[in-house]
Structures are given as C-alpha cells and as structure tokens.
C-alpha cells in the first residue's frame, strides 16, 4: 500500500457497519440503564424511547468521535487503522443494562505499522482528549439553556452529553490492560497524570456533586 493510500481517511463497508452497530447498540444499552424505574423494578417504554433518542446524540456521538479520533491520528502516522466491533461484548452490554448496570466494550480501532512509543501514546490520547472537548461543547448547551431560555431538551442533551463524555474520558484513561491510559502512561507518565486526574475529578464532580 502506498504512502498516499495509507494517509487517506477511508472506510470499508464492513467498518461502517461495525461503527453503526456499535453506535446503536451502545446508545440503546445506555438508554435501558437510564430509563429504569427502580420503584417498579422495570423499564418505562416511553422513557426508553426518549432516552434512546438522547443517547444517540450524546453517548453515540461521544463513542463515535472517540474512535474516529484514534483512527485519524493513527492514519496521520501512516498506519493502517480500522474500527472493529466486538459483537459478543455488544450483546453483553445490552444484557448488563437490562439488569441495572453497564459493562461496555463495543470494539476498538486496530492499527498496524511501525510506531514509536510517543506515536502510540498520541494515538491513545486522541480519544480521551476528544471526549474532553465534546464535554465542553455539551456544557455550552447547558449555558445556552440557562442564559437564553432554550427548550428543555437542549439542557437534557447538554447534561447527558457532558456527563457521558467526562465518563468516557476518565474511564478510557484508567492505566489498565487495553485501555488508552495504559498506553499513554507507558509513553509519558506526566502527560498521563495531566489528562487522567482532571478527567477523573471532573467526572466524579459531575456525577456525585452536580448530580447529572
């Protein structure tokens, strides 16, 4: 494969199907989790439909942007980079959401080619940093609602988008196993700390103090 071909962002039909499947299933899984009614021990169908719509534009966008960031930076370093969905883990995500918790590992961008530790670290870092940037974008929706009185749905999208992107940034920066944080930490501990600590603190603050 030539240099020009490797440096071009492109998607096979299979990759697009994998991305779409992961986007939809992950959105539905979060919707199942967030629409549960503990008092009645079940799921409100109306709330499930509403939360699925919200999840598609918050959870789905956060996930898709995270993976595309990995792919774009990998291609920037002349890698062959492809997203592959893990359908067994997508099934587990749905099952776990149905019983009240969520374990989600929908797939990953796989790349091959020679890389330095720095390049590997930057590819891994691209995903969490993208989620941090998206969290800021969704936060502006909350400000827009509170400042100019936009429709309530704008604030709901902003709140869920802020929370899920902070969560994705913090979770993926955990320095364990195949997660991005482990790769970043192997490359540069200072960079790891500078990204992971603020991501974790922000996610905890929004979850337990703000209550989103």
Q: Which residues are catalytic?
A: 67
- What tokens appear for 11 in the block? 């998607």
Q: Cα separations (Å) of 98 from 26, 42, 45, 48, 93?
A: 13, 9, 13, 12, 9
Cα–Cα distance for residue pair 185/189, rounded to 1 Å: 5
CB atoms within 10 A of CB 48: 16
Cα–Cα distance for residue pair 181/170, rounded to 1 Å: 9
Q: Which residue has the tokens 């400042």?
A: 147
* Contact between residue 163 and residue 141 where contact means Cβ atoms under 8 Å apart: no
The dihedral of CA 140, 34, 169, 75: what is its sign?
A: negative
CA nearest neighbour of 19 among 85, 69, 94, 91:
85
Cα–Cα distance for residue pair 28/48, rounded to 1 Å: 8
């Amino acid at each position: 494969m030539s240099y020009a071909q490797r440096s071009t962002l492109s998607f096979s039909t299979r990759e697009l199907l994998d991305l779409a499947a992961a986007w939809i299933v992950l959105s539905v899984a979060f919707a199942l989790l967030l629409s549960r009614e503990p008092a009645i021990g079940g799921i409100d169908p109306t709330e499930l439909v509403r939360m699925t719509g919200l999840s598609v534009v918050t959870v789905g966008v956060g996930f898709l942007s995270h993976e595309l960031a990995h792919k774009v930076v990998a291609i920037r370093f002349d890698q062959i980079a492809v997203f592959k969905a893990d359908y067994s883990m997508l099934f587990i995500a749905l099952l776990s959401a149905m019983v009240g918790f969520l374990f989600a590992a929908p797939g990953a961008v796989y790349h091959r080619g020679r890389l330095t530790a720095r390049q590997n670290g930057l590819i891994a870092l691209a995903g969490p940093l993208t989620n941090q940037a998206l969290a800021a974008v969704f936060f502006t929706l909350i400000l827009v609602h509170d400042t100019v009185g936009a429709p309530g749905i704008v604030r709901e999208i902003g709140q869920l988008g802020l929370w899920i992107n902070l969560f994705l940034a913090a979770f993926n920066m955990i320095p364990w196993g195949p997660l991005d944080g482990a790769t970043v930490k192997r490359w540069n501990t200072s960079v790891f700390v500078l990204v992971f600590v603020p991501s974790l603190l922000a996610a905890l603050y929004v979850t337990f103090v703000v209550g989103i």
